[in-house]
Amino acid sequence: MNNTPLKHFTHTVLQGLFGLLPITIFVVLILWMYGKVDLFVGWMFKTVGFTPEHHKFLWFLLALGIFVLLLYFMGLLIKTRLIGYFEKLLTKLPGYKTIKDLINIFNSSKEGENRVLVVVIKGFANEGYNIGLMYSQKESIIKDHYTVTLSMSPIPNGGYMFEVHKDNIYVIEEATFDDNLQYLLSMGVKSFAEVVKSEPKPLDTLPSLSSWLTTHKAS
């Protein structure tokens, strides 16, 4: 009982940390990019004879305009084949493809073979099941088996990988990668039913991976 307030405080801090982490990384990246543009604009001012300190508002507008144009051209570049040629060069760098695949994991809106599925499999004990993730629906080296990952809680940067027969994998279709992350961070304080806002259901009402694959290959 004496540890309850401390545990609650620790769990809440961890939830806050992992909740803010993606936002913080995004903000830091944007500020870093803007800082580089800001230095470039300051250099431009001095080159043409302006003193940046005497034209701060104009300096800010010019830096902001160049930054927005830079993002626009980057967006155009991504839509063209040029980014494909550039990416081919990057794939020759050791580890680039692995890093790219890891980043793509966090795109929970992916579809098809690369969609992240939230699944349940037979648990470690004699009875019960564990909730895990399938980062792809590609068959394992063992026929009819697929790779399922069980992440750790509350810090989901580690875990275990299992090769499981498709008939022993059940898909929680309404759940997403983000739902699973929220569940892990709660350390079970929230049930998975609470996270996905669904009533508890019998296991046999969930589609097995075998039937899920049949349905989605036909569609």
Split into its structural domains, the chain has a count of 2
Tokens representing residue 91 in the block: 């794939």
Q: What pLDDT is stored for residue 108 in this prediction?
A: 43
The pLDDT of 19-33, averaged and rounded, is: 73
Q: Please check whether residues 85 and 129 belong to one and the same domain.
A: no
DSSP H helices in 80-176: 82-90, 96-105
Q: Is residue 99 part of a domain?
A: no
Tokens representing residue 25 in the block: 């990384």
Q: Is residue 51 part of a domain?
A: yes
Q: Please check whether residues 124 and 55 belong to one and the same domain.
A: no
Higher pLDDT among residues 21 and 118, named by residue: 118
Q: Please check whether residues 44 and 124 belong to one and the same domain.
A: no
How confident is the prediction for the chain on average, in pLDDT?
Answer: 77
Q: Please check whether residues 174 and 214 belong to one and the same domain.
A: yes
Higher pLDDT among residues 201 and 47, named by residue: 201
Q: Is residue 118 part of a domain?
A: yes
Nearest Cα to Cα of residue 185 among 9, 3, 11, 10: 11
Residues 48-97: tens digit of each pLDDT: 666 666 667 777 777 778 878 877 777 776 666 566 666 666 666 665 56
Domain boundary among 90, 119, 137: 90
The pLDDT of 12-19, averaged and rounded, is: 68
Q: Please check whether residues 123 and 214 belong to one and the same domain.
A: yes
Cross-sheet strand order for the sheet of 129-134:
159-165, 145-151, 129-134, 117-122, 170-171
Work out the pLDDT band at 146, boundaries 50, 70, 90: very high
Q: What pLDDT is stored for residue 66 in this prediction?
A: 81
Burial of 48 (0-12, 13-18, 19+ CB in 10 A): exposed
pLDDT at 105 over 60: no
pLDDT at 160 over 80: yes
In eight-state DSSP terms, residue 5 is: H
Q: Is residue 95 part of a domain?
A: no
Q: Please check whether residues 114 and 213 belong to one and the same domain.
A: yes
Q: What pLDDT is stored for residue 169 in this prediction?
A: 94
Tokens representing residue 113 in the block: 């073979």
The pLDDT of 138-150, averaged and rounded, is: 92
Q: Is residue 9 part of a domain?
A: yes
Residue 16 structural domain: 4-90
Rounded distance, CA 122 to CA 142, Å?
18
Question: What is the DSSP annotation of 117-134?
Answer: EEEEEE-SSSS-EEEEEE
Q: Is residue 130 part of a domain?
A: yes
Q: Is residue 201 part of a domain?
A: yes
